[in-house]
Structure 1
């Protein structure tokens, strides 16, 4: 069975950088907001140019859905929608969707207020004679994406009107999706729903303009699909029968992992588990719809926590931490077969990090899915460690570290002297400074694809990591500045990619 993406038929290299970590040099933004994140505007295009100049072929990112207060992309309120915080208002002005002269950032406190003002401008443009083509494109988008957009827009409007109350606390008729109640509330919240529709049309339009530009430059987008979805999400509210919930909508069991490298008490994610029996009854249609959206956005898709398709860690909903959980078998083979029957060339990569059993690897190899190896995990004194370069195989994606790891420089600075010495000896006592020693090792690997976090290319220490699993403070907020990018960096990387035959 050959299911690997064509991107694995040659040696490639890429950068791991979430779009929120891009600089933001836009004109239409509010500087007094809590944090100014990157967008799908000019800085994203400049980053594509940097990658192309350096010879990279792959831009890997984290999930791009709308986030909750903790900003974690792995707890999105939708498995389909785009994060409105990534919308570039400059792009809207440049493409004549809105009149920039009537939307001044100096008149608004938050980016959300700016987007509300932009929506008013957008709908005025759509209703004008000159906006007929734009209006038709908007109507086409709403019709094409209706399989998720209708529920999401109503869910988001309800969240706003209830001051972000969880859907389990909504009035019973709304919580249980009584058709009459939903029809009434749609009319009541029409203005708010229209706002959501505008934002999603803006996101998807900007995304595809950027994707087209990247693809034309030889850059392919590598997405990340969490295996689970957030409980307080449009997906769970809209299709409750697919999840393991009680009769009031509360999870009976939740997801996580047992104690591991990242946490002594395991990780308690809190996502509700799937009702796999219900999903099996209709041929996993919920998942096939989810994949449809991901394929609309990305050229390659990482399945986060792939091992959960073979067996998942089931934690009682009232468990204090993950140690009270147990492994439960999942219908992985049947599920994946349904996915590949629907999408024969499904371009998947399996995230197979952590406690991985022979059964998980058998399932991955049965469907010929590339896995992941992380060099930071390799230097524990065990010569059979699969993350060590001499144990790599061609069908792997090689990382210096992932978004959950420290930066490579930060990791090295915290290593014990014994481990530092082992690392130096392994690489022939090379005098190459960190993190470039490990970056070059990833590029030299036999693995078909090598991915380098942007922090490692910028030689940044542990103060610049993206996430620290098991904690909730200061995660997901890292951004870089163009001043941090040495003018010689692209040329240096291009030379390395030439040496290791990974030039895009």
Structure 2
């Protein structure tokens, strides 16, 4: 159960401002936390933190455990002596968009230099901390660092196109390549150490100021990832290590052919045979990284749409049962009450609702989906329950202003009629509706707080280009926006207890 009433903002760290081409875990992130506090917000929701692959989507990561080195703050590396101030001179990208390609090249070069200085220096408290990190995270760290080094060596070819000895992880080949690629492996381990060094410092800053961080676990992992390469037995792969079944969703009102996502599907029998050890490690790490965790595509823990990998669409798929109930029982036994949020959007069956409710997981309600289909619409405020998270929209929606402008006159009339207002102050009209609702937690996209239109949309599902690049400018974080949000948050009883 979500208690007490609270609210927060959805913003991925890549969307933070700054001169290095992409948001980072440095001072701009702390300034954003200060904005949350000043605005009476107590939750910061982020997207997955993993290292991104094709398209730089945070939902297409190279590892379920590693961090995205693009988020490393370079100024902190100068402060630690890993880089020189002169290394950062002349770097000044515009803030309004993410420069992924340039930042990949920039940070790879500077992290190599930083790693060389770090290992050359040795004998410091940070060197000891690196050794502890390497030991404690050994269950995933070397596999990922070797995977990343091999992937770079083979010019980003998928792991199932590597030499057979590496594809099949033969011990002699792994040892030989670990020695041959020892330098890039060390650099990657350094980058992971620095990422989590900075992340935990940022999380501590947030927690000390009364802000909880909500993370995000995509249920599925990418085929081209260290997870599948290191654990092929946990997935439906054939003798040539190609997927036989892939993930997606069936045809529906929005798509006559469904959606074929292409992620390899889990072999739940194998996972159970191993007492869910991989999932225990994944959840354990994520529950350390964040205070709350949103589970993307929660319904897949009850049953999932299994599509033959040779099919080009999702039409030929079928439902297969998952062992989600047994998994959550195992997780509960290991970690106690689970601070999880179930992404239960779309067509949800009674069985999925029972799985969610039996464990007390809050679901998600999106106000942009609420209007125009009658009073029984489950997203309308009068149908919400205390144990849910209400959003104006998510990272997959248009901004609220963009959504409003795209509605037909009839659709706008339905919204006005329900809210009993002329709605001259969108998106704040919908923000007010969300904050006033009975939902225990209200989360608002940063774009809505800034009043931005469709050009600031973060992601359009089903498209592979033009996503994930939105960033706000530092000058947009103004006192008047903070004061407006704070006043409304107090009005509807969502301010931190000490401030009510």
Common fold by TM > 0.5: yes
Return the offset for 1:102: 5.4
| CA deviation map 1:158-189 (0-9, x unaligned) | 00000001000000000000001100000000
Q: Give CA-to-partner distance per residue, 1:265-318, whole Å, 9 cap, x none.
A: 322111000010000102111100101110121000001000001110111111
* 1:100-499 to 2 correspondences below 5 Å: 100-101=85-86, 111-128=104-121, 131-260=123-252, 263-499=255-491
Q: Deviations over 1:131-163 (max 9, x none)?
A: 521110111111111111011000000000000
Question: Partners of 1:456 and 1:306 in 2: how far apart?
Answer: 26
The secondary structure found in structure 2 opposite 1:322 is coil
Q: CA deviation at 1:435?
A: 0.8
> 8 Å contact 1:244–1:273 — kept in the other structure?
yes
> Do 1:67 and 1:73's aligned partners in 2 also have CA atoms closer than 8 Å?
yes
Q: Is 1:23–2:8 an aligned residue pair?
A: no
Indicate if the aligned counterparts of 1:81 and 1:152 stay in contact, CA closer than 8 A: yes
User: How many angstroms does 1:106 deviate by?
Assistant: 6.3
SS at match of 2:214: strand
Contact residue 160 and residue 167 of structure 2 kept, 8 A: yes
Partner of 1:32: none
Indicate if the aligned counterparts of 1:16 and 1:451 stay in contact, CA closer than 8 A.
yes
Query: Deviations 1:240-281 (Å, cap 9, x if unpaired)?
Result: 000011111111011011234654432211100001000010
2:6 to 9, 12, 15: 12
Q: Count matched residues.
A: 488
Q: Counterparts of 2:457 and 2:255 in 1: how far apart (Å)?
A: 17
Q: Indicate the larger mover: 335-344 or 112-121.
A: 112-121
Q: Which residue of 2 aligns with 1:501?
A: 493
Equivalent in 5, 22, 44 of residue 59 of structure 1: 44
SS in 2 for 1:323: coil
Residue by residue over 1:199-252, the C-alpha shift from the partner in whole angstroms, topping out at 9 and shown as x without a partner, is 101100000110011111111110010000000000000010000111111110
SS in 2 for 1:459: coil
Provide the rounded CA distance (Å) in 2 between the counterparts of 1:11 and 1:374: 18
CA gap of 1:105–1:185, structure 2 versus 1, over 3 A, is farther
Secondary structure of 2:479's counterpart equals: coil
Summarize the Cα distance change of 1:37–1:280 in structure 2 as closer, same or farther, 3 Å threshold.
same
Q: Is the 8 A contact 1:223 1:302 kept in 2?
A: yes
8 Å CA contact 1:60, 1:221 repeated in 2: yes
Distance 1:475 1:122 in 2: 31
Please give the TM-score of this superposition, normalised by the length of structure 1: 0.93
Q: Partner of 1:451: helix, strand, or coil?
A: strand
Are the equivalent residues in 1 in contact too, given 2:35–2:477 (CA < 8 A)? no
The superposition leaves residues 332-387 of structure 1 with CA deviations (integer Å, 9 ceiling, x where unpaired) of 21111111111112211110001101110011011111110000111132211110
Alpha-carbon shift at residue 319 of structure 1 (Å)? 1.4
Distance 1:262 1:340 in 2: 36
Q: For residue 82 of structure 1, what is the aligned residue in structure 2?
A: 67
Q: What is the alpha-carbon distance in structure 2 between the residues aligned to residue 491 and residue 261 of structure 1?
A: 41
Rounded to whole Å, the distance in 1 between the matches of 2:124 and 2:225 is 34
| Shift in Å, 1:419 | 1.5
Distance 2:76 2:312 in 1: 46
Q: Which residues of structure 1 form unaligned runs of 5+?
A: 30-35
CA distance in 2, matches of 1:481, 1:220: 24
Query: 2 CA distance for matches of 1:136 and 1:64?
Result: 25
Q: Is the 8 A contact 2:372 2:415 kept in 1?
A: no
Note if contact 1:105-1:114 (Cα within 8 Å) is conserved in structure 2. Answer: no
**Given the two structures, how large is their TM-score scaled by the length of structure 2?**
0.94
The CA RMSD over aligned residues, in Å, is: 1.8
| C-alpha separation in 2, matches of 1:174 and 1:87 | 30
User: Is residue 13–residue 497 contact of structure 1 (8 Å, CA) maintained in 2?
Assistant: yes
SS of residue matched to 2:319:
strand
Task: State how far apart, in whole Å, the 1-side matches of 2:110 and 2:13 are.
Answer: 24
Go from structure 1 to structure 2 and tell me whether the alpha carbon gap of 1:102 and 1:480 turns closer, same or farther (over 3 Å shift). closer
Between stretches 213-222 and 316-325, larger displacement belongs to 316-325
In 1, the alpha carbon distance for the partners of 2:103 and 2:44 equals 29
Show structure 2 runs of 5+ residues with no match. 93-100
Change in Cα spacing, 1:341 to 1:71, as seen in structure 2 (3 Å) is: same
Q: Which residue is 2:81 aligned to?
A: 96
Q: Deviations over 1:13-33 (max 9, x none)?
A: 0000111011123xxx4xxxx
Aligned in 2, Cα 1:41/1:153: closer, same or farther, shift over 3 Å? same
